[in-house]
Amino acid sequence: MTEIDVLVSEVGPRDGLQSLDTIMSTDAKKRWIKAEAAAGVREIEVGSFVPAKLLPQMADTGEIVKYAKTIPGLTVTALVPNFIGAKNAIKAGVDKMCLPLSVSETHSRANLRKSHSEVLGEIENIVQYINSLEATKRPEFAGNLATAFGCTLEGPVAEKTVLSLAGQLMELGCGEVGLSDTTGYANPAQIKRLIRLVKKEVGNDRLTSIHLHNTRGLGLANALAALEEGITTLDSSLGGIGGCPFAPGASGNIVTEDLVFMLDSMGLQTGIDLEALIEVNRMVKQSLPKEELYGFTVDSGLPKGYQNGGWGVAG
C-alpha cells in the first residue's frame, strides 16, 4: 500500500444516510462501499450499531460490515452508542469503532439518552471487554468528543469540559480521542486552539482525527486549520450528505470530493482517484433520487490541466 499524507475517512454510509428520509437498500450500500474503496478510499464508516427502531437506515449494519470486510485493504469502521452496540460491532468484525461522547450534556441526553457519567460507564465496560479478547480480535476503539466546538441545544461549550472529558477517555483506556464539530459551529482559530489544548492534555499521538461539518461554509477552512495542527485523518461524506438527527440544524458534512480536490491541489497524497470518486457520486445519486447531494467539484468538473494527484506543470 502506497504512502499517503492525509487519510480521508468516508462517513457517508453512516453519518450521511442516518439523517435522510430515504432508506438506501443493502445492495446499494454494498455497491457504494465497493466502488469508493476501488477509487482509493482506505477507510469507510459503514454504519452504526443502534436499534433499528431509532434509526431504521442503519438496520443492516451487521451485514454491511461483514461484506465490507471482504474488500482488501479497507479499514471498516462503525459507530457504537453503548456496550451492547460495541459487542455487536465486534461480533460483526469491525476494524475500528468509535463512541460519541457529547461535550454538551443536553446533546448527550438527546443523542444517546445518557448523562456524561453514564456514557463514561459504557466506555469503561467496552474497554474491559476489548481487553478480555484475544489480541488479534481487538478492534481499535476511539472516544469521539461530539459537539466539541458548540451545540445547537446549549450554545457554546466550555473548553475546560472538553479537556476534562478527553482526559477521562484516556484514563478509561480509549486508544485515541477524536474531535467532532457535530453542529458546524467551529471556526479555524477555534479549531487550532482546541487541537493544541487537547494534544497537550492527551498527547500528540492520541489526537489524529477530526470530524467537521460545513453548516456555515467553513468546513474546508477548518480542515486546513486542522492539517496545520498535525491532524492526519479527516472525516468527510460523499456529496456532503448527513448531519446529526438529534441536533436541530446540524447539517452538511464536508464533501469528500471537494476535500480530495483541495488536498490534491495542495500536492498532498490521499491515494484517491478523484475522477473515479466523482463517478461514485453519480452512482449514489441514482440510489437517492429524492435526496440532494452537494459539492462544487462535481458540479463544476475538474479544471483544464488537472491531473489526478495534483496539477500538470506547464513547460
Strand partners, 98: 79, 142
Residue 56 CB coordination number (10 Å)? 12
User: In the numeric block, which cell numbers belong to residue 278?
Assistant: 466523482
Distance CA 27, CA 32 (A): 9
C-beta of residue 141 within 8 angstroms of C-beta of residue 130: yes
Q: Would residue 174 show up in a list of annotated catalytic residues for this protein?
A: no
* Cβ within 8 Å of residue 192, ≥6 positions away: 225, 226, 228, 229
98, 151, 174, 244: which one is catalytic? 244
Q: What angle do CA 192, 232, 165 make, to 5 degrees?
A: 55
Residue 308 CB coordination number (10 Å)? 14
Written in H, E and C, the secondary structure of 97-116 is EEEEEECCHHHHHHHCCCCH
Residue 250: which of 188, 180, 198, 187 has the closest Cα?
180
Distance CA 42, CA 143 (A): 21
Distance CA 112, CA 108 (A): 6
- Give catalytic residues, as residue numbers: 244
